[in-house]
A and B are shown apart, each in its own frame.
Chain A
Amino acid sequence: MAKGAGSRETFLPAQYQPPLPLDQLIIQDGAAGAGDRMELDVVIVGAGPAGLAAAIELAQLARRDGTELNIGVLEKAAALGEHSLSGAVVNPRAFRELFPDLQEGDFPFRGPVRKEAVYLLTADRRVRLPVPPTMRNHGNSVASLCEIVRWLGEKAAALGVNIFTGFPAASLLVDGPRVVGVRTAATGLDRAGRPLANYLAPNDLVAKVTALAEGTRGMLAQAWCEWRQVTAENPEIFALGVKEIWETKRALGTIVHTLGWPLPSDAFGGSFMYPLAPNLVALGLVVGLDYRDSALDVHGLFQRMKRHPLFRRYLEGGEMVEWGAKTIPEGGYYSVPTRRSGDGVVMLGDSAGFVDVPSLKGIHYAMQSGMFAARAVFAALKHGDPSAVRLGDYDRMVNASFIMQDLYRTRNMRLAFKDGFYAGALKAGLMTLTGGRFPGGRIAMPRDADVARRLTPGLRPGSGEIPDGRLTFSKVDGVFKAGNATRDTIPTHLIVGRDVPSEAADFYARLCPAGVYERIDSGLRVNAPNCIDCKATDVLGPRWTPREGGSGPKYKRM
């Protein structure tokens, strides 16, 4: 692609996005290059709520049955929970089902939702809205996903599950159409990819069933779907959320959601502010990646948002103690792949797109999908037949459950916002009133990368924020507060398109919340160690691939 190709008024991200490196992501079992080889019954990729719930349910089924199952969970973070980020207000139903002997008070929640408020913001005012039925959180609890994951990890380990933190899965090992395991990423390479003294070769973990619970924008899940040509009615679409945790002087007693300012009306999104403890507040801003202005900067908008009196009154005089960012699969019902299982493989949680945007929920769907997968996998192993036919039971369980019922009810709500906030709000209101029956049919969505971006000069949403270091922070400050101490001599893990024009360089620089991309005179500079694995540019530009285990953020209470 020639430099500066395309029209000067708009910019199409897909034009500069490199393809998924399938040859690197899907390799034949037995391919050269691996060190140790280990055999397990089930290998689970990703120690998040989906992967750990699957591991726990499997271990419990095996224990009840008196069989021995060798279960391994691979996690790319250095320690459990360090790459997990969510709001979060959690629906406890999956916890109740997974731990029938525990009481509500035993779960790793910070406290029940007591009061909630939804506001429409303008630059300096707020209008309180009635809480939409989908957003009512009575009976749910505020929680930190990091804490949930650590707690689930302890439960899994106590049941004999092997949890390998610091080991990212880099490739699917396949034999014909069958997934037979994964190969981990190498550790201890220098910038040019040469082994250092502490080099650790990739390991092959072979298993009867591989469960992909990589979370949002899972790389192996994407690769498997592309390889097996598994599609959905709509492509998956994503949002980017940037989040901070604050120790505040003023106590917050309500969970707060906002719409409107500082987002332009052609972007979909909103903010949240939750009390983890009276003086410990989690807040963030989530913006759909189908925004139209090429210069929109979610981190910058979030910083601007904190100047609003609604937030400032809590934050002023307090201290920002943690920062993080993550994408969210927002496509809902029509973006869930038609099957989430195949020969030797199942796909769980965010990797499969089990998120309901109107209620802002995903954690309990992730866990429930893990539990269903565990039941299907256990039955398949009992029959000695982990084939697509047997593992299809997992899809059938999900389809018949509240997961798909909930997603079906709100199937078009997020999609209605593709033409702007006001038209979207009107349509979403009608859908709520009619229980999803109006307007009927499916709203077709383009891939985020296929949405053209305006190249308007002048003032831009989120750009031009000058951080004061007290209330507002730069991206570099954020990366520091994410605990990111990635070795700065590792090889780059981001695949950038060739001949990236300056408008793409600018677009990536604004899009990435962690300052990985910088526009320089002659093009693009990539500060790969800054990356905190949010996957935003994987959606719209340069591809993310796993790097040395333990790299990236070290979230504590996100």
Chain B
Amino acid sequence: MKIAVCIKRVPDSETRVKIASDGKSLDEAGVKFILNPYDEFAVEEALRRKEQAGAGEVVIVTVGSAAAQETIRTALAMGADRGILLQTDKIPADGLEVARALAAEVKDSGYDLILFGKMAIDDYNHQVGPMVAELLDLPCVTAIAHLEIGGGKGTAEREIEGGVELVEFPLPAVLTADKGLNEPRYPALKGIMAAKKKPLQVKPATLGAGGLEVLALTPPPQRKEGRVVGEGPAAVLELLRLLREEAKVL
């Protein structure tokens, strides 16, 4: 089983991000970067599929800056076999450009599965996985929460509003991982040592400008301060009145 996992280096969700002076990008100073959490599920699933098959290769592919090598090493420490960095100083805002670069890289390489996280937690676009599938003319199942592979085909479960959807698809296929697909493993000490020696190929990314441009980023509005309505039973009536008349939620 040969599996590609396309990952992204993103700011840690616990980082307090600041908008850079240009008003349309993040100030990266002091920001900690991590492997996109949804991609962790994808890496874990790839490792389990390979382990289940008893043979194969898990290849990590990313588009990003030189620093993304560190993110690839994290996936290698978890157990992936090798990495490919398509290096660029700036990831285009247009997901289609990223998808084109990734599709060109994984095309004709004999992958049975191409896995993604269902979205990156920095741009929330949910785009690149399905776009790669389209560019490669492969079936695509997004936001999978369970996966079975066997006999040249797969079945995946998707958690949809009010129930579970069961989807069958032929291989090769593109899948995007949702939370709950598995419990990603922690890198083991031996894995971390081994990761340093695993092959990591760096080549320049070929990226177009794309059709999208970020004009501005703005922080969410400041949350209004809370207020103590009062104390004791009398406050309940006042609270009800405020919820009705001011907040208009009742």
- Chain A positions within 8 Å of B, measured between CB atoms, are 35-36, 38, 79, 162, 164, 166-167, 184, 187-188, 196-198, 200, 203, 205, 321, 483, 485, 549, 554, 556-557
Contact = CB atoms under 8 A, between A and B. Distances in A.
Contact of A203 (B14, B30, B32, B189): B189
B153 interface: no
22 contacts: A36-B189, A162-B192, A162-B193, A164-B189, A187-B186, A188-B186, A196-B183, A197-B183, A198-B183, A198-B184, A198-B186, A200-B185, A200-B186, A200-B188, A203-B188, A203-B190, A485-B14, A554-B14, A554-B32, A556-B30, A556-B32, A557-B30
Interface string B97-139: 0000000000000000000000000000000000000000000
SS of B interface (majority) = loop
B186 A38 contact: no
A166 B16 contact: no
B180 to A, nearest CB: 12
Contacts of A557: 30
A166 B32 contact: no
Nearest to B182: A197
A200 B186 CA distance: 7
Interface in B160-188: 183-186, 188
B185 to A, nearest CB: 6
Given A79-B32, A556-B30, A556-B32, A38 B183 contact: no
Given A483-B14, A556-B30, A556-B32, A166 B186 contact: yes
B231 to A, nearest CB: 15
Contacts of A188: 186
Nearest to B34: A79
Contact of A198 (B185, B189, B190): B185
Which 5 pairs show the lowest CB-CB distances between chains A and B? A197-B183, A203-B189, A198-B183, A36-B190, A200-B186
Given A483-B14, A556-B32, A557-B30, A205 B184 contact: no
A248 to B, nearest CB: 16
B223 to A, nearest CB: 12
A556 B14 CA distance: 11
Contact of B16 (A38, A162, A203, A321): A321
A45 to B, nearest CB: 14
A196 B185 CA distance: 11
A401 to B, nearest CB: 34
A549 B190 CA distance: 15
B190 A38 contact: yes
Contacts of A166: 186
A557 B16 CA distance: 12
A200 B14 CA distance: 24
A551 B182 CA distance: 21
Given A164-B189, A187-B186, A203-B189, 12 more contacts: A38-B190, A38-B193, A162-B196, A164-B192, A198-B184, A200-B188, A203-B190, A321-B16, A483-B14, A485-B14, A556-B30, A556-B32
Contacts of A483: 14
B146 to A, nearest CB: 15
A162 B77 CA distance: 13
Contacts of B32: 79, 554, 556
A200 to B, nearest CB: 5
A483 B16 CA distance: 10
Contacts of A203: 188-190
Given A485-B14, A556-B30, A184 B189 contact: yes
B14 to A, nearest CB: 6
Nearest to A70: B193
Contacts of A205: 189
A36 B188 contact: yes
Central interface residue in B32, B189, B192, by most chain A CB within 10 Å: B189
Interface in B13-29: 14, 16
A290 to B, nearest CB: 36
A196 B183 CA distance: 10
Contacts of A196: 183
Contacts of B196: 162
Nearest to B70: A157
A162 B189 CA distance: 10
Contacts of B183: 196-198
Contacts of B192: 162, 164
A73 to B, nearest CB: 12
A197 B186 CA distance: 11
A1 to B, nearest CB: 40
